[in-house]
Amino acid sequence: MGERRAMLLRKELGIATMRDLLYYFPHRYVDRTKVHRIADITEDSAQTYIQLRARVESVGIHGDGRKRRIVALVSDGSGTAELVWFAGLRGIEKRLEAGREYIIFGRPGFFNNELSIVHPEMESPAAVQKRPSAMQGVYGTTETLTGVGLGAKGIYALVCTLWELAEKHIAETLPEPLMRSEGLMPLREALRNIHFPENPEALGKAQYRLKFEELFGIQLGVVSQRVGRLARGDGFVFARVGERFNAFYNGHLPFELTEAQKRVLKEIHADAVSGRQMNRLLQGDVGSGKTLVALMSMLLAADNGYQSCIMAPTEILARQHFATFRRLLGDLPVRVELLTGSTTAKQRRTIHEGLADGSVDILVGTHALVEDAVRFERLGFVVIDEQHRFGVEQRSRLWTKNRQPPHVLVMTATPIPRTLAMTLYGDLDVSVIDVLPPGRKPVKTFHQRDSDRLRVFGFLRDQIAAGRQVYVVYPLITGSEKMDYKDLEDGFNALTQQFPPPDYHVTVVHGRLRAAVKEENMQTFKSGVAHIMVATSVIEVGVDVPNASVMVIESAERFGLSQLHQLRGRVGRGAEQSYCILMSGDKLSREARERLSAMVRTNDGFELSELDLRLRGSGDLTGTQQSGIAFDLKIANLGRDSAIVERAREAALAVLNADPALSDPLLATMRQRYSAKKEIDFSLIS
Ligand code: ADP
Ligand code: MG
């Protein structure tokens, strides 16, 4: 192809090589084995595409100017249909011959009870005979490409040409024993069938083979990292459960640990005496008590002569942790310091000294911790809170602060579906806190329409009269930011009218306020002076106001499931019954309705995350900015192909057990190919 089209193909679809094109798969197929009878097509037979074999009875040009069109009348013996073209008239006129028979393909429509097809594809029966496959792939394309002859059909033609050139050069990428044990179709056959399926069964097998390969490649990377880490045996050993841990456990714990907290502490302890470096993901819903687990793990490190640090995503959270630790530890001889962007140079120096001489046991901070000047004497344990806010890069910079890698605990409140965790965090062991501290009542969730607003206000009044506080959250979706702020401002004004001073106090917090004002407004809510806080969805992660018992989410249909669940987690922290009210418009898409009803039905974050993954599919999970995962999945879907993810992981484990060094060149290449693409940005999980 010419340079210009090649350039556009690269720019629009990222296709630069023959291999790229070979791995550019159709997103759907149309079955061209079936020829319909015109008489069988009725208005409610709801066919998306039909194929006719019919003779052209007459061709005519109608209308003038922009209404100019070609209309052809065709018949197949069972009935007649009209074919209409509005564009490319000159070419159509030349090619279309009255009296000849054509294979006609297109979307059926009805006009005056008459079957009609606009812009059908026309081919001679002889040409159709020569097609490589009866199921024709439909390739995604863009408007720009369509403009240069690379519409769906143009790309199909290109793939046909490519196939002739490439077919005999396609070498198998998976080892023979694996192919056999997994019952996989050979690569060449799979690629042929993904582009030109022989039949639906062969297509299914081809898809399976290609999905398996992709997921296996990724698993080979993550599993071999893990096997390597465990084999190195260079983990710090925390052999003692010493005096500070015990003194804390016996004398400072304000409550009994939940069973789940105890289990996770045991898991961490087992790792820390194993001689292998721990890499553990701790999942637990908001309020499940992860911070305490982190603190006690760090005491374990301290008793063994190691320093720890905990990194939080925001300054507010870091301060909150620092205050919590100081309060819980009381007079125990544990030195805790706080390091953030606003730590003064003088304080900083003192902290640096304490880190270097080993007298600081626990350092709490933000990403300021990864600054180069921070040097520990013996960093043994690292905690990363709400990890999705940090990039991999930042994480690994913490690791390198030691010659020997510290144990790492990554904490997240966002439940991650099992298969996603296996893929994103394949190298991590997973612990789960699945029990909330006692006395918490599950949040009750309701879905209300805009038309129910007065009832909702009445409910808020009752709650406020009972001494509770209320959040009202507005979506903030970049792209229409101006509108979003207007929504929020209008909402704030409306609420102030409904809840007027002096009886009520409504406050507001959002990103456009000056830091000082924001802080002040936040304080009026925390201290209980304000009854209602109007905010954007970016209310600080982890903000803790136990007296707030109602979360109203405006335009809830505009939020994703995991975000709704996160927001709901802001209430239900005290002993009172809490409520989450999802406000939406009256017209909802099917998907939005499904999201909202799932929220009403369950509080189970894992169930919601699975559903979220299924609803969004991998279209949203791969390659897109929003997802932030650049696993370049071309065909597998982490939501729908979970069974294949599991099989691929098993297979990767088996292969690595048998051949830890991956001496098989096919496997080495496979790992190489997929690890090069693996770059995770944790923003997916926010
Ligand atoms: P998260 O998992 O969201 O980080 P936190 O660690 O902040 O949760 O804990 C939420 C609240 O629950 C805190 O006020 C904490 O003191 C309290 N808490 C933690 N563990 C327990 C427990 N076992 N029993 C009672 N309250 C607990
Ligand atoms: Mg927390």
| Nearest CA-CA partner of 548 in 530, 561, 535 | 530
Output the ligand 1 site: residues, CB below 6 A. 255, 257-258, 261, 284, 286-292, 413, 437
Cα(629)–Cα(423) distance, rounded to whole angstroms?
Answer: 11
- Give Cα separations from 148 to 6, 29, 155 (angstroms): 11, 23, 11
Query: In whole angstroms, how large is the CA radius of gyration of the chain?
Result: 31
DSSP conformation class of 551: E
CA-257 nearest atom, ligand 1:
23
CA of 317 to the centre of ligand 1 (A): 14
Percentages helix, strand, coil for the chain (3-state, rounded to 5) are 45, 20, 35
Would you state the structure tokens that stand for residue 640, as one six-digit string? 């729908």
Atom of ligand 1 nearest to the CA of 289: 6
For residue 579, how far is its CA from the centre of ligand 1 (angstroms)?
Answer: 20
Q: Per the structure block, which two tokens stand in for 333?
A: 């001889």
Report the separation in Å between the CA atom of 436 and the middle of ligand 1, taken as the mean of its atom positions: 8
Asked if 618 contacts 638 with a C-beta cutoff of 8 angstroms, the reply is yes
CB 21 within 8 A of CB 137: no
Question: Could you tell me the two tokens for 622?
Answer: 């791969």
| pLDDT value, residue 629 | 43
Nearest to 554 by CA among 659, 456, 672, 430: 456
For residue 412, how far is its CA from the centre of ligand 2 (angstroms)?
8
Nearest bound ligand to CA 541?
A: 2
Contact 532, 469 (CB under 8 A): yes
Crossing angle of the two packed helices 290-303 and 259-272, in degrees rounded to 10: 30
Average pLDDT of adjacent 10-residue blocks, the chain of 686 residues: 92 92 91 86 76 94 88 94 89 89 90 88 82 82 90 90 94 95 96 93 96 92 83 90 94 93 96 92 86 97 96 83 94 95 92 94 89 84 74 53 80 76 75 84 93 94 96 76 80 94 92 83 92 80 79 92 85 89 92 94 85 64 34 76 90 91 90 61 28
- Count CB-CB contacts under 10 A for residue 5: 15
Q: Tell the residue nearest (CA) to atom 9 of ligand 1.
A: 289
Distance CA 432, CA 285 (A): 9
Question: Nearest 5 degrees, angle CA 281-CA 283-CA 286?
Answer: 140
Listed in sequence order, the residues at least 6 apart from 564 whose beta carbon sits closer than 8 Å to its beta carbon are: 553, 556, 582, 595, 599
- Proximal ligand: closest to the CA of 570: 1
> Hey, what long-range contacts does 205-208 have (CB within 8 A, 24 or more apart)?
207/635, 208/184, 208/644
The neighbour count for residue 31, using CB atoms within 10 Å, is 13
Q: What is the pLDDT of residue 295?
A: 98
Which of 124, 137, 142 shows the shortest CA–CA distance to 163?
137
- Look at residue 620 in the predicted model and tell me its pLDDT: 39
Contact 405, 387 (CB under 8 A): no
Amino acid letter, residue 586: D
- Residue 429 contacts residue 280 (beta carbons within 8 Å): yes
Distance CA 395, CA 473 (A): 31
Query: What are the helix (H) ranges across 499-588?
Result: 515-526, 561-568
Strands (E) in 86-206, as ranges, are 101-106, 108-111, 114-118, 121-123, 135-138
Q: Which atom of ligand 1 is nearest to the CA of 284?
A: 2
CA distance 136 to 152: 11
Pick from 269, 298, 290: which is nearest to 379 by CA? 298
Please, what is the Cα angle at 422 between 420 and 425, to 5 degrees? 90
Whole-number Å distance, alpha carbon 379 to ligand 1 midpoint, is 26
Q: Which atom of ligand 1 is nearest to the CA of 288?
A: 2
Find the ligand nearest to 255 CA: 1
- Residue with CA at minimum distance from ligand 1 atom 26: 437
Choose one of 248, 282, 291, 386 to mutate for the ligand 1 pocket test, by most ligand atoms within 8 angstroms of C-beta.
Answer: 291
Rounded CA gap, 156 and 141, in Å? 11
Nearest residue by C-alpha to atom 25 in ligand 1: 437
For residue 286, the ligand closest to its alpha carbon is 1
Rounded to whole angstroms, the maximal C-alpha distance in the chain is 99
Do 547 and 470 meet the contact criterion of CB atoms below 8 Å apart?
Answer: no
Give the closest residue (by CA) to ligand 1 atom 24: 437
- Which residue CA neighbors atom 16 of ligand 1 most closely? 289
Round to whole Å and give the CA distance between 611 and 564. 13
Q: Which atom of ligand 1 is nearest to the CA of 258?
A: 23
A 10 A CB-CB count for 540 gives 17
**Cβ–Cβ < 8 Å for 618, 636:** yes
Pairwise CA distance, residues 24 & 150, whole Å: 14
85 Cα–ligand 1 center, Å: 68
Q: Which residues contact 537 (CB under 8 A, 6 or more apart)?
A: 473, 474, 475, 476, 559, 563, 567
What is the CA angle 559-564-568, rounded to 5? 150
**54 contacts 124 by C-beta, under 8 angstroms:** no
CA 479 to chain centroid? 20
Ligand 1, atom 23, lies closest to the CA of 257
Return the SS3 of 362: strand
Tell me, what's the pLDDT at 570?
Answer: 86
Name every residue whose Cβ is closer than 8 Å to that of residue 294 and which is 6 or more positions away in sequence: 310, 383, 385, 409, 411
Q: What is the layout of strands, in order, in the sheet containing 429-433?
A: 336-339, 362-365, 307-311, 379-385, 407-412, 279-284, 429-433
- The ligand whose atoms approach the alpha carbon of 288 most closely is 1
Within 8 A by CB and 6+ apart from 193, the residues are: 185, 202, 203, 205, 206
- What is the CA 71 to chain-centroid distance, rounded? 48
Probe ligand 1: pick from 288, 295, 316, 384, max atoms within 8 Å of CB? Answer: 288
Identify whether 438 is preceded by a cis peptide bond (ω within 30 of 0).
no
CA dist 51 and 122 (Å) reads: 10
Q: Ligand 2 mean position to 318 CA, how many Å?
A: 10
Tell me the sheet residues that pair with 289: none
Query: From CA 545, how far away is CA 540, in angstroms rounded?
Result: 12
Ligand nearest to the CA of 386: 2
Note the pLDDT of residue 682.
31
Which residue lies with its CA nearest to atom 18 of ligand 1?
289
Q: What angle do CA 43, 46, 47 make, to 5 degrees?
A: 115
End-to-end CA distance of the chain: 43
Minimum-distance ligand 1 atom for the alpha carbon of 433: 2
Look at residues 1, 29, 22, 11 and name the one whose alpha carbon lies nearest to residue 139.
29
Nearest CA to ligand 1 atom 1: 287
* Residue 580 burial (10 A CB sphere; 0-12, 13-18, 19+): buried
Tell me, in angstroms, the distance from the centre of ligand 1 to residue 573's CA: 9
For the chain, count helices (H), then strands (E).
24, 22
406 CA to centre of ligand 1 in angstroms: 25
Whole-model pTM? 0.67
The pick from 255, 293, 319, 412 for probing ligand 1's pocket by mutation, whose C-beta has the most ligand atoms within 8 angstroms, reads: 255
